[in-house]
Amino acid sequence: MSKEEKIITVKDVMTPHVETIDGLATIAEAIQHMKDKNYGALIVDKRDEHDEYGLITVQGIARHVIEKDKSPERVHVYEIMKKPVISVRSDMNIRYTIRLLEQIDHGRALVIDDRKAIGIVTMYDMVMHYMDSK
């Protein structure tokens, strides 16, 4: 890396707002929340300070609810969420974040500072920002 090349951090490219949902909400409620905000994923709130965040995605809903012909009104978020969520620090270089997500074949990570969710970063965000910086 040359001295002039600026390091791009997760903070530079993340979506700095986290949409959350309670794990007891139904999938129908999650879908409506996603539609209202135009998001493909929601962070599932911690139950307490010792808990971890969860993640529910459109892909997870498709795979675990629609594909299996289950009623979105009868399935709860906690039943299909991924938990714990892959998380990264906001000061992490996106090259390492991309490498991490690629190793686990995942497209997004929760951004956490001081054990608090502060944003979401996606592979798309990082690649597009990287290309724009060239």
CATH number for position 97: 3.10.580.10
Instruction: Please report whether residue 3 resides in a domain.
Output: no
Q: Please, what is the angle between helix 94-103 and helix 123-132, to 10°? A: 140
**For 95-112, what is the mean pLDDT?**
94
DSSP state of 20: E
- Percent residues over pLDDT 90 in the chain: 81
Structural domain containing residue 124 = 10-132
- pLDDT at residue number 132: 78
Check if the beta carbon of residue 44 is closer than 8 Å to that of residue 56. yes
Residue 5 has pLDDT above 80, yes or no: no
Which uninterrupted H or E stretch holds 11? helix 10-13
Count of the separate structural domains present in the chain:
1
pTM of the model: 0.82
Residue 75 has pLDDT above 60, yes or no: yes
In angstroms, rounded to a whole number, what is the distance separating the alpha carbons of residues 77 and 81? 6
